[in-house]
Structure 1
Amino acid sequence: MAPDAVPLSGERFHTDPHRLYREMRQQHGPVVPVALPGDVPAWLVIGYRELHQLLSDSELFSRDSELWSQWPKIPADWPLGPMIGRRQPSILYTVGEAHTRRVAVTNEALEAVDQIGLRAVVESRADQLVDRICGQGEAELIEDFAKSLPILVLATLLGFREEESQGLSQAMHDMIDGGERAIAGQQHLLGSMRRLISLRRTQPGADVATRMLEGNRGFSDEELVQDMMVIVASGHQTTADWIGNTIRLMLTDDRFAASFFGGRHSVAEAMNEVLWEDTPSQIIAGRWATRDTKLGERHIRAGDMMLLGFQGANDDPQVRVHQAAGGGGVTGSGLTGGNSAFFSFSHGDHRCPFPAVEIAEVIARTGIEVILDRLPDMDLSVSPAALNRRPSPWLRGMTTLPVRFTPTPALGGQR
């Protein structure tokens, strides 16, 4: 391991990431040697052009984690093991023709989601969540709203009954929290997916599970179950953080104040701004070099792990002309507008499928619009400096977002 490797831990990843990435770039360049827990070596790619090059060449930088040269040194209980995904039979870790076929099955199932119907589902679930808090005059929006909305909607799209969605929501939270109930949460989700696939074989419905079965290209039921797990796991937490980070921005930045008085275009602007400056997916593992090569003047050996530094690449001053020269990140002088050249949804063969991005955007935007409509005078109940982030370099989101507002009556299903 490089003697100057940067530990991939510490509070600066969630308190001051823009300054930290700038310092990394100054000291190491666009490809940074890093140390994972247990002093496991890897490369963090934070250069925009270098990350684009890596993600565009799936033959040189593969998604096949079996290539990793460090596996013989990795203990069975290594905490990042589930994130790396060794021998996980899902769409995330397949390559070549098998990956192409699996992407086609997932894309076709998601493309058929009716956008008008989807928005109606999101409004209904969002109203139910707001009904629980609207009479209280205060709420904690991460726990009471953002953490629940995506999984409730995704459960409906997959084909679960509404009464099953709460159990799925709790199981997802247990799995993500990584506590003593994490394994039980994962098993609950897997069992639920398996039962749904089995049910839809005999009782088809107008849902994603049925369409994946109907569009199957020779994959087993278990492979379809694993891919539905990916849809839920990758779609839930990132969308929840997209919602939370966007509401935080709108509550703390005067540029977006118009949204609280009906300026709906500002919601979209705030969501786009978050994907540039505060993206939920900060760092993703990863890619593995298939042979010795060079990237950003670094000598990369076959089997080296490459970590995708999405936020670092988004901050690259070579593509961000308004980057502050001496500040802690990007200046607040202007919005990013419609520029969507960020890396928040990755790039290349393993990019987040476009239908999945569209669904996430509808869930996030509609959910935010509903809560702004229902609680128009919502404001933070603590100072912005008191807000805390998830203590992780991987996913960036709020742990809490306490707000106060004028109590309003519940809709009770009437909109």
Structure 2
Amino acid sequence: MTRSPSAEPAPDAAPPSGCPAAVPLSGPGFQIDPQAVYRAMRRDHGSVVPVELPGGLPAWLVVGYREIHQVTSDPELFPRDVGLWNQWPHVPDDWPLLPMVGRPLPSIYFTAGEEHRRHVRMVVPALEAVDPFEIRGHCEQLADRLIDDFCARGAADLVAAFCEPLPVLVLARLVGFPDDEGADIARVLKDLADGGPEAQSAHQRFGAHMARLVAARRAEPGDDVTSRMLAFPEEFTDEEYMLDLMAITAAGHLTTADWIGNSVRLMLTESDFADSMARGRRSVADAMTEVLWEDGPTQILAGRWPVRDTRLGERRIKAGDLLLLGLGAANTDPLIRQG
């Protein structure tokens, strides 16, 4: 990452040769009607779409269900190893999507192979030790608190006042934060996910929260995820603990917040669904299942990087090209919706 943000894109940062012009991965269409955007992409480019990220960086958006299944089922050919990305010489240090795409760092989310499995051995038991009834209790208590707060005001933006804060407040408790830090972590993760000018500073603030938590739980262990990670017998650095906690919290919060928000919108704005709930034919669980197919919380996920030149769909993919998983588009792929 050596060039300045104002420098011109390098020649090999252009769209892959032999492909139609890359589609800018931005614009109001993604917020207003993303499925219309995906249909146009599939019509014009097929199941693997050449796209352009902010700053002129090229990538492939995989919108075909079969192709996403192929990529995610073959971690040897398509590992989640950001260090393989062939565009690193052209990525500015302040690129706003960098916190979401990732850097070559020793984290459970940004490593592959044995290094990834080493982190899994430490993180998974720490998470699995959480009592599901404890999680339910936290969810109910914190949800009641949020609802009581906006009921007292008489009006609310349900996304900002309920859907976004609830998951991170629960996660904050589980990893070992006091409740008064949960609200700030929620703001940090919102800035991070937006991918705007505040994303880089939000990522730094997020790391600072986790560094303080690691230090606090090392000094005074408790019954929480962080303490169990620190007690794991294999040796890890403080940076590794911090990065893994960031991955756990971000992955658990961002997807859950959007899932709750999309489910609430379905229940409140789709009259047929709301009527079926009122008559007892549908449930909240039905709404949340439908949302996973029709309006999933993660539309596009970065990423995978092939270890060698290969073919995917009708495309020739070079080693180190960034593959973005178009989960929202794949769920509406006509090949799996026929009949």
Check whether TM > 0.5: yes
Cα deviation, residue 177, structure 1: 4.7
Distance change >3 Å, CA 153–CA 284, structure 1 → 2: same
1:266: which partner in 2? 283
Counterpart amino acid of residue 64 in structure 1: D
CA contact (8 A) 1:151 1:165 kept: yes
Residues 22-61 of structure 1 correspond to what in structure 2 (within 5 A)? 22-61=39-78
CA contact (8 A) 1:259 1:267 kept: no
Distance change >3 Å, CA 259–CA 235, structure 1 → 2: farther
1:83: which partner in 2? 100
Cα deviation, residue 8, structure 1: 1.0
Task: Provide the rounded CA distance (Å) in 2 between the counterparts of 1:168 and 1:116.
Answer: 24
1:119: which partner in 2? 136
Distance change >3 Å, CA 264–CA 121, structure 1 → 2: farther
Cα deviation, residue 264, structure 1: 9.4
SS at structure 1 position matched to 2:223: coil
Task: Provide the rounded CA distance (Å) in 2 between the counterparts of 1:178 and 1:20.
Answer: 20
Task: Provide the rounded CA distance (Å) in 2 between the counterparts of 1:184 and 1:124.
Answer: 31
Selected match of 1:296 from 313, 324, 327 = 313
Task: Provide the rounded CA distance (Å) in 2 between the counterparts of 1:138 and 1:252.
Answer: 17
1:105-150: CA deviations, max 9, x gaps? Answer: 2211111111111111111111111111113332111111112111
Selected match of 1:286 from 281, 297, 303 = 303
1:93-113: CA deviations, max 9, x gaps? Answer: 111011112122221111111
**131-140 or 107-116: which moved more?**
131-140
2:8: which partner in 1? none
1:16: which partner in 2? 33
Selected match of 1:194 from 205, 211, 214 = 211
Cα deviation, residue 155, structure 1: 0.7
Is 1:142 the counterpart of 2:159? The answer is yes
Counterpart amino acid of residue 213 in structure 2: L
1:245: which partner in 2? 262
Structure number with greater CO (CA < 8 Å, separation at least 6) is 1
Q: What is the TM-score normalised by the length of structure 2?
A: 0.88
Task: Provide the identity percentage.
Answer: 54
Residues 310-321 of structure 1 correspond to what in structure 2 (within 5 A)? 310-321=327-338
Counterpart amino acid of residue 141 in structure 1: L
Cα deviation, residue 78, structure 1: 2.5
Q: Mind listing any 5+ residue stretches in structure 2 that lack a counterpart?
A: 1-14
CA contact (8 A) 1:108 1:215 kept: no
CA contact (8 A) 2:99 2:200 kept: no
Residues 219-234 of structure 1 correspond to what in structure 2 (within 5 A)? 219-234=236-251
1:274-302: CA deviations, max 9, x gaps? Answer: 11111121111111121111110211111
SS at structure 2 position matched to 1:60: coil
Distance change >3 Å, CA 187–CA 74, structure 1 → 2: closer
1:93: which partner in 2? 110
Task: Provide the rounded CA distance (Å) in 1 between the counterparts of 2:182 and 2:92.
Answer: 36
Cα deviation, residue 67, structure 1: 1.5
Task: Provide the rounded CA distance (Å) in 1 between the counterparts of 2:56 and 2:200.
Answer: 26
Task: Provide the rounded CA distance (Å) in 1 between the counterparts of 2:144 and 2:276.
Answer: 18
SS at structure 2 position matched to 1:290: coil
Cα deviation, residue 170, structure 1: 3.6
Cα deviation, residue 62, structure 1: 2.1
Task: Provide the rounded CA distance (Å) in 2 between the counterparts of 1:301 and 1:178.
Answer: 26
Cα deviation, residue 29, structure 1: 1.3
CA contact (8 A) 1:291 1:302 kept: yes
Task: Provide the rounded CA distance (Å) in 1 between the counterparts of 2:195 and 2:323.
Answer: 24
Counterpart amino acid of residue 163 in structure 1: D
2:176: which partner in 1? 159
Distance change >3 Å, CA 6–CA 216, structure 1 → 2: farther
**228-237 or 162-171: which moved more?**
162-171
Task: Provide the rounded CA distance (Å) in 2 between the counterparts of 1:195 and 1:287.
Answer: 31
1:206: which partner in 2? 223
Q: What is the TM-score normalised by the length of structure 1?
A: 0.72
SS at structure 2 position matched to 1:285: strand
Count of aligned pairs: 322
Distance change >3 Å, CA 113–CA 249, structure 1 → 2: same
Distance change >3 Å, CA 226–CA 262, structure 1 → 2: farther
Cα deviation, residue 58, structure 1: 1.4
Distance change >3 Å, CA 158–CA 177, structure 1 → 2: same
1:277: which partner in 2? 294
Distance change >3 Å, CA 56–CA 97, structure 1 → 2: same
Over the residues paired in the alignment, what is the CA RMSD in angstroms? 2.2
